[in-house]
Structure 1
Amino acid sequence: MREHIIEVIRQIEKDNDIKILFACESGSRAWGFPSKDSDYDVRFIYIHKSNWYLSIDQGRDVIEIPSRDPISIPIHPLLDLSGWELTKALRLFRKSNPPLLEWLRSSIVYYQSYSTIDKIKVLDKNIFSPISCLYHYLNMAKGNFRDYLQGNEVRIKKYFYVLRPILAAKWIEKYNSIPPIEFQELLEDILIPGELKESILTLLKRKIAGEELNLEPRIDVINEYLTREIEHLEAYTKGLKLEIPDPTRELDQLFRNTLSEVWN
Structure 2
Amino acid sequence: MIDLNRLLQHVAAHPYPTIFVTISGAHLYGFPSPDSDFDLRGVHLLPLEQVIGLDHGQETVEKEGWYDGLEIDLVTHDAAKYFALMLKRNGYVLEQIFSPWVVFTTPEHEQIKSLAAQCITQQHAHHYLGFASRQWQLFRQGVPPRVKPLLYTYRVLLTGIHLMQTGRIEANLLALNRHEGLPYIDELVARKLSGPECQVLNTVDFQFDEGEYQRLTRKLEKAHEASFLPEQPAAKAELHNLLVKMRTGGSSTSARC
TM-score when normalising by structure 1: 0.82
Change (3 A) 1:261 1:64: same
Contact persistence 1:49–1:263 (CA under 8 A): no
Larger relative contact order (Cα-Cα within 8 Å, sequence gap ≥ 6): 2
Contact persistence 2:129–2:157 (CA under 8 A): yes
Matching residue within 244, 247, 250 for 1:261? 250
Q: How does 1:1-264 map to 2 (within 5 A)?
A: 1-12=3-14, 16=15, 18-55=16-53, 59-66=57-64, 76=69, 78-113=71-106, 115-131=107-123, 133-149=124-140, 154-175=145-166, 177-191=167-181, 197-210=182-195, 213-219=199-205, 220-234=207-221, 237=224, 242-244=230-232, 246-259=234-247, 260-262=249-251
Alpha-carbon shift at residue 26 of structure 1 (Å):
0.4
> In structure 2, what is the Cα distance between the partners aligned to 1:263 and 1:34?
32
Structure 2 counterpart of 1:244, one-letter code: Q
TM-score when normalising by structure 2: 0.84
Instruction: Figure out how many residues of one structure are paired with residues of the other and give that number.
Output: 247
Alpha-carbon shift at residue 4 of structure 1 (Å):
2.7
Q: Which runs of 5+ in 1 are unaligned?
A: 68-72, 192-196
> In structure 2, what is the Cα distance between the partners aligned to 1:138 and 1:224?
16
CA RMSD of aligned residues (A): 2.8
Structure 2 counterpart of 1:50, one-letter code: L
Alpha-carbon shift at residue 149 of structure 1 (Å):
2.6
Alpha-carbon shift at residue 255 of structure 1 (Å):
0.8
Contact persistence 2:122–2:231 (CA under 8 A): no
> In structure 2, what is the Cα distance between the partners aligned to 1:225 and 1:245?
31
Q: Return 224-233 or 93-102, whichever deviates more.
A: 224-233
Alpha-carbon shift at residue 170 of structure 1 (Å):
1.5
Q: Return 82-91 or 229-238, whichever deviates more.
A: 229-238
Change (3 A) 1:81 1:101: same
Q: Which runs of 5+ in 2 are unaligned?
A: none
Structure 1 counterpart of 2:169, one-letter code: P
SS in 1 for 2:34: coil
SS in 2 for 1:44: strand
